[in-house]
Amino acid sequence: MMNHNMKSLCDRVRQTAYDIHAYHGHGHLEKVYENGLAHRLRKLGLDVKQQNPIQVYDEDGTRIGDYLADLLVENELIVELKATKTLAPEHEAQILGYLKSARMEHGLLINFGSYQFEIRKFVWSENC
């Protein structure tokens, strides 16, 4: 279950991303949106790391590598950004895989490339 602080954090990221989409539209490269979202979230006082290495673990706990999260917000929320016509099942599989492998619980998948703003929340739990 999502605690109040995580819900509030997701709401802030969602609103900020929506505002960026409303202002900049849907025609830029993913990196432009990444930089813009990181900039605006930092202005709100949040800790934001871009292209942050997240350790990936095998099922027995052995570290087997890293992947780069587009954004890591407050060291607990992975934000994966896309600038594509529409979100696809492989994008969802990607963020779920990241959460599971990194043993992190919360993630947002945001697509800035569509005419209509798209955002999806994901929660990974060993108990699911």
List, for residues 1-45, the tens digit of each pLDDT value: 457 799 999 999 999 999 999 999 999 999 999 999 999 999 999
Burial of residue 48 (CB within 10 Å: 0-12, 13-18, 19+) is buried
Phi and psi at 93, nearest 5°, equal -60, -40
Q: Angle at the Cα of 40 (from 36 to 45), degrees rounded to 5?
A: 145
- How far CA 125 is from CA of 44, 90, 97, 105, in Å, comes to 29, 20, 12, 6
List, for residues 109-123, the tens digit of each pLDDT value: 999 999 999 999 999
Q: Are 101 and 57 in contact (CB under 8 A)?
A: yes
Q: Angle at the Cα of 60 (from 56 to 65), degrees rounded to 5?
A: 20
- pLDDT value of residue 86: 94
β-sheet bridge partners, residue 107: 78, 122
- pLDDT value of residue 127: 60
Residues 4-123, CATH architecture: 3-Layer(aba) Sandwich (3.40)
